[in-house]
Each structure stands twice: as C-alpha cells, then as structure tokens.
Amino acid sequence: MGFAAVNTGNNLLFLIVSSLLGFMAVSGCLGWMNLRNLGVTVSLPDEIYDGKDTFVTVRLENRKRFLSAFLLRVHISGKDARFPLVEKGCVESDAVTLVFRGRGSKLLEKATVSSPFPINFFVRRRSVSLSVPFTVFPSPRECPAVGGTGKKDARGDAFSRSKGFGGDVAAIRDYTASDPLKLIHWRLSARQGELKVKEITAPSEDPLIIDVLSLPAGGLEENLSCAAYLVNRAFRANRAVGLKVGSRLVRPDLSRTHRLRLLTELAVYGTR
Amino acid sequence: MVHVRTVLDILALVTGLLGTAPLFFHLNRIPQFVFLAALVFVIFAAWKGVPPLRGWRATVTTGVFFIYYALQFSRDNLVEPAANLLVVLLSIRLAGEKIPRNYLQIYALSLFALAASSAFSLSGAFLGYLGLLLLSIAVSLVLLTFFTVDSRLSLTRRGLRRVASVAAAMPAASAPLILLFFVILPRPQFPLWDFLSPAGEKVAGLSDRVEPGSAASVGEVASPVLRARSEKLPQKDLYWRGVVLNTPQGNAWIRTEIPGREIPPPKGVVMVRQTVFPETTASPWLIALDAPWSVSGVRSGKSADLVFRKRRSSGGRLKYDTVSAAHGAIETKEGIDRDFYLKLPEKVSPRVLSLGRSIARQGGSDSVRLSRLEGYFQSAGLRYATRDLPRSADPLDEFLFERKAGHCEFFASSFAVLLRAAGVPSRLVGGYYGGEYNELGGYYLVTESMAHAWVEVFLEERGWVRRDPTIYAVNFSRERDGKRRGLVATVRLIADSMSYYWNQTVITYDLDKQLRMVRATGSALRTLSFPSGVRRAGIPLLVAGFLLAVCLVGAKRKWGSREQRVVRKFLRMVGKRYPHISISPSTGLLELAERTGDPRVRRFADIRYGALYRDRKLSERELSLLEDITRAFAASREIVRDIERTSGTSH
C-alpha cells in the first residue's frame, strides 16, 4: 500500500497508509497498557508432593483505573491460567494443575503474563514477581508395614487421647447440645435426673516413631518416600507418629500441623 | 451470551460492504453481480443453515476469475481489472468457509477495494468510508484474537460491549497519529506511475471547438469545473478565460496556434491574484480569470493570445496561481495579422454577409462599426435559449433571421462572423461566465452550466477588447446563476465548502506543501518571541512549575501516599516506644496491638483495617484521625522521655 501511495502520489492512498500506521501504533500501546497494573497472586496448597499433580489457584487483579484487561495468560512452571476478561478493579481466579519435581524448600519466583490483545499479530509478555516459598514433600511410596506390634489385630490395643466412636467408655459427663443422641447414657441419666453422655475413645495403636535412615526401602530418597507414606498412613489410622532423622528426633503427636511438620522435616532433610 | 463467531460473521459482511460500496458503481457488471449474489448467499446461508462455499468449488471459481482478469491487464488498463478482480475475490471469500486466516483476507481485500476506489474518485466521501472501515476492522481484529484463542468462545453482552468499546476506541485514538503520518510521510516530487492515478470522474471540460447548430439542446450540468480562491469581484468581471478559437471551419470555430511575441502585462491596472483548484478534466486548457497574464504552480505553456496549456497531462489534482487584469482588454503594441483575423468561413449565408458588408459600407473606424453591430444586436430581439436551437445547414442565418433564439455560442459565433464581414478583426473565446461566491471558503465555484463563449474584438487604439454579445438577448439577466438562496442552497454551499477544503488540504497535499510547512515551522521557531513581561516572569515560572511537578511526582514515588506515610511514621513511633518489640515492614498492626497491649495501636489498626478490608480508601476524616493518633503517640513518647530524663537527673 505504501509502495502504491509513493508511486502514484495519490493522497487517499497516503491516508490509508497513515491510518494503518496510526492504527498499529495505537494497538501496540493498547497491548502494552493491557499488561500494565496487573497483580498476580498464587495460592499453593500446604501439601505438595514430589511428582504429584497439585492444584494451584492463580488470582489476577486488574488494578487499572479505566481499562479492562483482555485475553491474559499467566504462565507458571510450564502451565497456563487463562483470563479472557478482567474488568477494571476486579479480581478473577483460575486453577492450574502443576507438577513439582524434587523435594525440598522452593521458591515460586515469577510468573509470565502474556496476551495477544488487541490484535493477534504479536504476543506481548511481562514477568511478574511472585516470591512464594513452598515445600515439596517426598512423594509417598508404599513400603512394607513396619513399626507396628506385628499382630494383625493390634488396632485397639491402645487408647487414643482423642474422642471417637469405636473404643471404650472413657468418661461420663453432662450432655451438651453438640453431642449425638446415641451417646446419651440413658440409664445413668434416668438415675441422676439430668442427661449424661458417655465419652468414648477412638481405637488407636501405640505411638510410632519412624527412624527414617533405618527403613528398609533402599536409598535415602526411597526411605524418605517410605517415611512420608508411613506418616500419612499413621495419621489416617489416628496413630500418633514421631520421627527420627539422623540425630534429630521429633516427638509423636496427632495434629495436622504436626503431620505437616514431619513431612517438612522429610522434605528438607539433607538439603540445607 | 453471544458467540464471537456470529459477531465476526456479521462484521465481515459489514467490512466487505464498506470496502466495496465506494467502488461498486465503477465496476463491470460481472463483479457487481457476483458481489450482490455473494451477499444474498451469505444472508440466505446464515438463515437456512446452508454450508458455505468450500473446497475445490471456491478454488476453481477464484482461478477462473483470476485468469479472466489477468488477460485484461495491460499497462494502460491496470486499475480496472485489478479493482474488478479484488471485488470478485472478496465476494468469494465472503461466501466461503471462514477460518481466522479467511477473516483477515476479507479485511485486507476490503481495504484494498477502498484503496482501488481512489483511482476512480477523489471524493471526500472516501474519508467517511475509511473511518467506518477502520472501525469495523478494529472491532473485528480484536474479536478475531478472542476467536483464535478459543473458537467456541461466547461473551456476555456486557463483556462484548467492553471489548467492542475498547476496540472502537483504537481508530479514534489513532486519529492524531493518522494526521501526523499523513503530513510527514514522504511524497514523491512526481508520481512514478502516474498512469495508475487517472484520478476521478472527469468532467467534460472546455472543448477546443465551438459549433453552434450541432445539437438541438444543451444540458445544464451543475458539476463543478473549478474553484478559485479569490476576493469577491463584480459580477460583470467574472469571465473565466479558457481557449481562444480564431479560425472558422465550416460551421465551427477551431483554434490555430499563431506565432507571436509575448505581450507584457498592462500597466496601471489592478491585478487580481487567484488560486485555482480545477476539477480533473480531459481538456488541456488552464482556466483563469480573463485576462490572465501569468499562471504559476503547474508546468504550462503560454500562447501569445494568453491561452495557457498544461505541459503534462497529470492525472492527479492540480492547483495553480494566476494573475489577471479584469478590465476586459488585452493591449498589444505590435498590431496583429489582420488578414488572419478577418478570414470568413467558406460558406456564409448571403443575408449574414450583406449585413456585415452594410455595416462596413457605412464607414467609420473599427470601434464605430462595433457600436453599429452592437446596436443591431440590441434591436434585433434575439433571445437566449437552450432548447429548440437552430439546426439547419446554416445555423447562424437561421439564428439571426428566423428563430432569433440560441445560446451563447450562436451569439458569439454570429457576432464574430458579422464583425469579420464588416472588416473588424475578431475571435471567439471559450470559457465560463459567472461563479457562485462561497463566503464560507472565500472562493468562487464555477460549474459546467456556466460554460460560455464570447468575442474579442481588435481595436487599434485599445487592443483586444472583450465583448459579450449574449448580454443583448432580450431575456438576458446577468444574475442568471447568481443569487440562489434558501435551505437547499445553503446546504449545497456548505457541502461544496467541505469538498473545497478536502481538495485543498488532502487531495492536493504534496512535497511542495511539506517543504513549505517545514520552512514555516523552522522560521516560526527561529522568530519565537514572547512579550518582555511574559519572558521575564513567565519562563522562570514555567520552569519552576515544571521542576515542582517533577519533585512532587518523585516524592510521591519515593515516600508513597499520605496513608503509607502516616502508617510508616506510626510504626516508627511504636518501635521507639516499645524498643523490645521487633517491627518489620510485614508486621501486622493487629499483631502489634496484641503484643504491645496499647489501646492506641488497637485503635489505629481498627481504623486502617476498617477501610482496607472493605476495599475502600481511607476517608479524609479517618486519615486525620490516624495522624492525630500518631501525633498523640509521639507527644506521649516525649513526655515519657522527659520523665525518664528528670528521674535520671534526680538520681
């Protein structure tokens, strides 16, 4: 078109060429503005296992005053979260499945925001700093049951400190509104004139301490994987579990925070 | 929800229409038919769910048309086959299957079609079409980007509105850039391929032959011939000189180039300067106000009888400057070839000849004979008419003695023949008479309907003198094209002004104008001056204001907003008041309130988080409160320090 304009000196062709150039410049500007004033935050779950699918929520905030943001793609660790339209001042979220390789403490440093907007001739990119620390736990790998009493019916040998439904009566106390009806001790209630309930323990086993390095799985990584499996299995079985890694000993406990602490110990072992 | 694909299809149709519309009436029948058929097919297919044209059918159709038009290409016939082919290709694309690439082809072909239309018409409507086309293409391209990302994407109406409004803002935002690029894009001094820009609907223009009696009637075409930027002149002076016809041939008058020395311009006469913007015509004559002494701004040749002829047949628009002496005479010092200007047509009717001879027989000078002939015309009862014109073998005889009605060519032609018969040298001038003065634009509009012919008579003492025998018609009115008023006339006036400015600013913009603009800007910058008061006070103020603005922006960047500043200061105060508590930028206010147990910190946190967690900014009142708390905190710290100091000294 420019060639035709120069060759013919026809000003209407010059007008078309000028329009196209002007249009390209404005579209370039618009594409640049589209990627400005964006906030990307990533929410990682607190349990991330080596080599396992992990759902990650990506939130994109459009902090622009006047313009909506269009056709954005947030690229994190090889996967894309897509945001066709984020209105001005709004936040949208999308979930991506990521797989993290290698255990240990890691840092999700940055994400790349890209967009072909407004016209699909170029794709613009911009890096956004994330700096999200996270820990990848060893991938749990099944290994032979160890550390039990060896008996098949060992479950129920010990009483858990937490309440449950499968054990023996541990105590009798006054009824509260949150107690299930089946726990009411009718005979005692009739005798005493007010509602009494039974507190029943959950079936449990003796606390378990896993000595990671003497597990029979093989190398260090295999042992760590095996330990992660055992930790999770023990918690599912409502069994207090502790850890012995080298010279470091973590006492047995039952809380979720404790379990994450154990898994973190396994994750970072030997990496610091 | 709206499917992006549906919107894209509708916009493709609109884009195709906008590209083809300005070209449509310049196309051959086949592309016209193909385009209309494609439109009908697209609408019908969308309505009935018929599959689009695809596969080998589309390819073969394209191939056949391509070969058909390729065979018509030649150096002299390049634009027309190209335009026809463009529209056919566009039609096939519109009717065909559409993947993202095809949509892009439709936009490109539409733009090319619009570009091709500029080879046929230079009308200002082009700008309107271009604007709409850009708008349609901008929205389409943005939606196409969405479509490319996900071909089954649907948008909510609100989302679609958002996308469309941002896309539509693009052509609007690019307007200043378009203007800038238009002004600065390099223009060639001469177009390389001038044949590609034959430019425009040509008006007939001046004929180099006057032949009264060749048609029973003449049309009144109001298409513009030229616009001349000029001061307002008396109506009687508005003779626009084109060509001088000096030789009778049968019933016609033609032009014979005569050698002669250039005549110097008259002295003591007021010269009128004009800039003429002619419409593109096939005629080679440059028209200027009678009598033109110079024409500049275009390469032209000047004859001794003040006829200016274009040197190159330029396709594009012209403009030229003229200098004229509008007093109706051309003085010649050297005399003329009288025999040449007394030559009569081979066949002159006896009645005409005897009338001329009788005037001659009465004797007297040339000017006396001229007066006698004028007296005859005044008393002959001739009428001006454009219908039922004399068409016999001798139309002048019929005009003078039988019908006594004719248009300017009859009047001028018979007047000149009679003068020559009476022994007075004369010649015919073809041009235009009158002109509508456009007060808005300050120019005269001369239209085809103002075409006129008059006579120049040679008088020894004065030179060639203009005489318009048509004014002796009994029904003559000098204002015949003069004053037309009313709404329609006003609208026409405004429309013509727009057309004038369009031609002046856009169509005739060239290298010369570019250079002049650069020179003007350069000299304006060199001579840039302010009144001394402004220079003394204004410039330092301007500089100070600019520095202040830079500092403010810098300060805001460095120290943050008022809210950030007050929070920072408060944390600093808390840090000093409770030195045992470590405070980092990430320490939360609530956490701090808990650790210090200080109710003022708690209050501060409540106010700040009250706004933060409701996703709103702190109000002016809340900000003042925070500042008050910070001040109070600082004051109490001073008191504590004073107490500590006093107790320290008392020890």
Q: Where are the domains of chain A?
A: 35-136, 169-268
Q: Is there a contact between B177 and A22 if contact means CB atoms under 8 Å apart?
A: yes
- Chain A positions touching B194 (Cβ under 8 A) are 8-9
Q: Is there a contact between B178 and A71 if contact means CB atoms under 8 Å apart?
A: no
Q: Is there a contact between B197 and A10 if contact means CB atoms under 8 Å apart?
A: yes
pLDDT of A202? 62
pLDDT exceeds 80 at position B315: no
pLDDT of A151? 47
Amino acid letter for position B20: T
User: Is the sign of the CA dihedral A2, A3, A4, A6 positive or negative?
Assistant: positive
What is the model's pTM? 0.61
pLDDT of B199? 44
- Determine the average pLDDT of the residues in B14-41: 92
Closest-CA distance of chain A to residue B160, Å:
10
Q: Is there a contact between B177 and A21 if contact means CB atoms under 8 Å apart?
A: yes
Query: What's the pLDDT tens digit per position in A200-223?
Result: 766 556 788 888 888 887 788 888
User: How many CB atoms sit inside 10 A of residue A202's CB?
Assistant: 17
Give the confidence band of B389 by pLDDT, cuts at 50, 70, 90: confident
Which of A4, A7, A85 is facing B159, going by the closest CB pair?
A85
Which of A7, A19, A71 is facing B178, going by the closest CB pair?
A19
Q: Is there a contact between B138 and A120 if contact means CB atoms under 8 Å apart?
A: no
Query: What's the pLDDT tens digit per position in B561-585?
Result: 788 888 888 888 888 888 888 777 6
Percent above pLDDT 70 for chain B: 89
Q: Is there a contact between B170 and A118 if contact means CB atoms under 8 Å apart?
A: yes
Give the confidence band of A165 by pLDDT, cuts at 50, 70, 90: low
- Chain A positions touching B190 (Cβ under 8 A) are 9
pLDDT of A269? 87
Residue positions counted in chain B: 651
Q: Is there a contact between A16 and B191 if contact means CB atoms under 8 Å apart?
A: no
DSSP β-bridge partners for residue B2: B155
- Chain B positions touching A20 (Cβ under 8 A) are 111
pLDDT of B183? 84
- Determine the average pLDDT of the residues in B370-399: 85
Query: What's the pLDDT tens digit per position in B100-153?
Result: 889 999 999 999 999 988 888 777 888 899 999 999 999 999 999 989 888 888
pLDDT exceeds 80 at position B160: yes
Closest-CA distance of chain B to residue A126, Å:
19
pLDDT exceeds 60 at position A155: no
Query: What's the pLDDT tens digit per position in B619-646?
Result: 888 889 999 988 888 887 666 666 666 6
Ranking A102-106, B200-204, B424-428, B577-581 by mean pLDDT, the lowest is B200-204
Q: Is there a contact between B509 and A1 if contact means CB atoms under 8 Å apart?
A: no
Is A8 in the B-facing interface, judged by CB distances under 8 Å? yes
pLDDT of B651? 43
Give the confidence band of A97 by pLDDT, cuts at 50, 70, 90: very high
Q: Is there a contact between A4 and B196 if contact means CB atoms under 8 Å apart?
A: yes
Full 3-state SS string of chain A: CHHHHHHHCCHHHHHHHHHHHHHHHHHHHHHHHHCCCEEEEEECCCCEECCCEEEEEEEEEECCCCCCEEEEEEEECCEEEEEEEECCCCEEEEEEEEECCCCEEEEEEEEEEEECCCCCCCCEEEEEEEEEEEEEECCCCCCCCCCCCCCCCCCCCEEEEEECCCCCEEEEEECCCCCCHHHECHHHHHHHCCCEEEEEEEEECCCEEEEHHHCCCCCHHHHHHHHHHHHHHHHHCCCCEEEEECCEEEEEECCHHHHHHHHHHHHHCCCC
pLDDT exceeds 50 at position B369: yes
Return the percent helix, strand and coil in chain B, to nearest 5: 55, 15, 35
pLDDT exceeds 50 at position B198: no
pLDDT of A77? 86
Which of B107, B110, B142 would you mutate first to test chain A, the one with the most A CBs within 10 A?
A: B142
Q: Is there a contact between B118 and A12 if contact means CB atoms under 8 Å apart?
A: yes
Architecture (CATH level 2) of domain A35-136: Sandwich (2.60)
- Chain B positions touching A118 (Cβ under 8 A) are 141-142, 145, 166-167, 170
Residue positions counted in chain A: 272
Give the confidence band of B204 by pLDDT, cuts at 50, 70, 90: low
Is B617 in the A-facing interface, judged by CB distances under 8 Å? no
pLDDT of B406? 87
Q: Which two tokens stand for residue B434?
A: 């009158």
Is B142 in the A-facing interface, judged by CB distances under 8 Å? yes
pLDDT exceeds 90 at position B455: yes
Closest-CA distance of chain A to residue B476, Å:
43
B contact residues 185-224, partner A, Cβ 8 Å cutoff: 185-188, 190-194, 196-197, 199
- Determine the average pLDDT of the residues in A182-188: 87
- Chain A positions touching B316 (Cβ under 8 A) are 8-10
Query: What's the pLDDT tens digit per position in B209-227?
Result: 788 877 766 666 667 788 8
pLDDT of A114? 93
Which of B181, B183, B280 would you mutate first to test chain A, the one with the most A CBs within 10 A?
A: B181
User: How many CB atoms sit inside 10 A of residue B228's CB?
Assistant: 24
Give me the total of CB pairs closer than 8 Å, taking one residue from chain A and one from chain B.
152
pLDDT of B140? 93
Tell me the ipTM for this assembly: 0.70
Q: Which residue of A has its CA nearest to B506?
A: A11
Longest CA–CA separation in chain A, Å: 112
pLDDT of B71? 86
Instruction: Mark residue B55 as left, alpha or beta (left: phi above 0; alpha: psi -120 to 50; beta: remaining).
Output: left
Q: Is there a contact between A9 and B166 if contact means CB atoms under 8 Å apart?
A: no
Beta strands in B65-212 (DSSP E): 154-155, 209-210
Q: Is there a contact between A15 and B187 if contact means CB atoms under 8 Å apart?
A: no
Q: Which residue of B has its CA nearest to A85?
A: B159
User: How many CB atoms sit inside 10 A of residue B428's CB?
Assistant: 24
CA distance A73 to B540: 49
Give residue B570's Cα distance to chain centre.
65
CA distance B367 to B462: 10
- Determine the average pLDDT of the residues in B149-177: 87
| Mean pLDDT of chain B, nearest integer | 83
Which of A21, A29, A70 is facing B163, going by the closest CB pair?
A70
pLDDT of B202? 44
Is A70 in the B-facing interface, judged by CB distances under 8 Å? yes
Closest-CA distance of chain A to residue B580, Å:
28
Q: Residue B446: helix, strand or coil by DSSP?
A: strand
pLDDT exceeds 90 at position B299: no
pLDDT of A150? 43
- Determine the average pLDDT of the residues in A39-58: 90
Is A119 in the B-facing interface, judged by CB distances under 8 Å? yes
Q: Which residue of B has its CA nearest to A13?
A: B115
pLDDT of B200? 44
- Chain B positions touching A91 (Cβ under 8 A) are none
Q: Is there a contact between B115 and A1 if contact means CB atoms under 8 Å apart?
A: yes
pLDDT of B32? 92
Which of B100, B178, B194 is facing A22, going by the closest CB pair?
B178
pLDDT of A270? 82
pLDDT of A197? 87
Give the confidence band of A22 by pLDDT, cuts at 50, 70, 90: very high
Closest-CA distance of chain B to residue A33, Å:
12
Closest-CA distance of chain A to residue B29, Å:
26
Instruction: Mark residue B609 as left, alpha or beta (left: phi above 0; alpha: psi -120 to 50; beta: remaining).
Output: alpha
pLDDT of B49? 81
Is A39 in the B-facing interface, judged by CB distances under 8 Å? no
pLDDT of B251? 82
Is B155 in the A-facing interface, judged by CB distances under 8 Å? yes
Query: What's the pLDDT tens digit per position in A101-150?
Result: 989 998 888 899 999 988 888 889 989 888 888 999 999 988 875 554 44
pLDDT exceeds 80 at position B387: no
